[in-house]
Amino acid sequence: MATSVQLSPGRSTAMRKPKAPEANRARILAAAVAEFASRGYDGASMDAIAARTNTTRAMINYYFRGKEPLYLAVLERVYADIREAESGLDVENLEPVEAIRRIVEFTYDYYVDHEDFVRLVVAENQAKGRHMKRSHALRTVNRPIVEMLGRVIARGQARGDFRADADPIDVHMAIAALGMFNVTNQYTFGSLFQRPMGAKGDVDRRRAMVADIILQWLGPQPAG
């Protein structure tokens, strides 16, 4: 018994006890965003999240009641973030064409700069929207960018700049598709075609390209 035997099985590093519930919650949530984005729902481990926050699995369960609720909170958070960012975008004073270009650029950059968001959206789609369905908050997320697009397109149509049958949701979808692909498919596409993509690709050139594509398509139909 004189021999010193280690008693505590867990991590024995002295951990600070914050005693600040809100801060704890926020820290856990941030760690969870990173972990779920990086590893996906199944790949993410509660332990890894705990390790990123100097707390324990039990703590996380205490705050979020389990892995899935935590994941939902993560989704809600990143959607709230993009909604907020979109809200800050002011295009009412720009000419329609310039406004579209601005919106495309904003969107393109947001994806490049927020890979976590993109990866989480993709993960949720890979999960067939399983979790999203259970969240009232997520089912009622509104994305200001679509209404914004609607107003810009209407202005452009009024001036004859844009084709008459342009639909804001279609336009948003095209912008999102072209912008996301660079991030979502960077590994396979980049590897197969030897093109650096995502944040490492030629961001400026490709962002401009997307704007061109959208604007060409939106432009008034040549008679015929």
Partner DNA sequence: TATGAATGAGATTTCATTCAT
Partner DNA sequence: TATGAATGAAATCTCATTCAT
212 binds, among a second copy, DNA, none (CB under 5 to 8 A by kind): a second copy
Looking at residue 149, the DSSP 8-state letter turns out to be H
Using DSSP's 3-state secondary structure scheme, residue 95 falls into: coil
Looking at residue 13, the DSSP 8-state letter turns out to be S
Distant-in-sequence, close-in-space partners of 145: CB < 8 Å, separation ≥ 6: 86, 89, 103, 107, 172
129 binds, among a second copy, DNA, none (CB under 5 to 8 A by kind): a second copy
What burial class does residue 191 get, using C-beta atoms within 10 Å of its C-beta: 0-12 exposed, 13-18 middle, 19+ buried?
exposed
Distant-in-sequence, close-in-space partners of 122: CB < 8 Å, separation ≥ 6: 184
Task: Kindly tell me which of 44 and 82 has the beta carbon lying closer to DNA.
Answer: 44
Report, in Å, the least distance between residue 31 CB and a second copy: 15
58 binds, among DNA, a second copy, none (CB under 5 to 8 A by kind): DNA
Helices (H), 88-219: 96-113, 115-126, 136-139, 144-158, 168-184, 186-193, 203-218
Task: Kindly tell me which of 9 and 16 has the beta carbon lying closer to a second copy.
Answer: 9
Task: Kindly tell me which of 60 and 218 has the beta carbon lying closer to DNA.
Answer: 60
The residues that touch a second copy, with contacts defined as CB under 8 A, are: 2-3, 5, 7-9, 21-22, 25-26, 29, 39-43, 62-65, 77, 80-81, 84, 119, 121-129, 132-133, 138-139, 141, 143, 146, 169-170, 172-174, 176-178, 180-182, 184-193, 195, 209, 212-213, 216-217, 219
Task: Kindly tell me which of 124 and 161 has the beta carbon lying closer to DNA.
Answer: 124
Report, in Å, the least distance between residue 180 CB and DNA: 27
68 binds, among a second copy, DNA, none (CB under 5 to 8 A by kind): DNA
Looking at residue 202, the DSSP 8-state letter turns out to be -
Burial state string for 159-176 with b = 16 or more CB within 10 A and e = fewer than 16 = eebbeeebebeebbebbb
The residues that touch DNA, with contacts defined as CB under 7 A, are: 8-10, 15-21, 24, 44-48, 55-59, 61-62, 65-68
Report, in Å, the least distance between residue 72 CB and a second copy: 11
Query: What tokens were used for 62?
Result: 């205490």
107 binds, among a second copy, DNA, none (CB under 5 to 8 A by kind): none
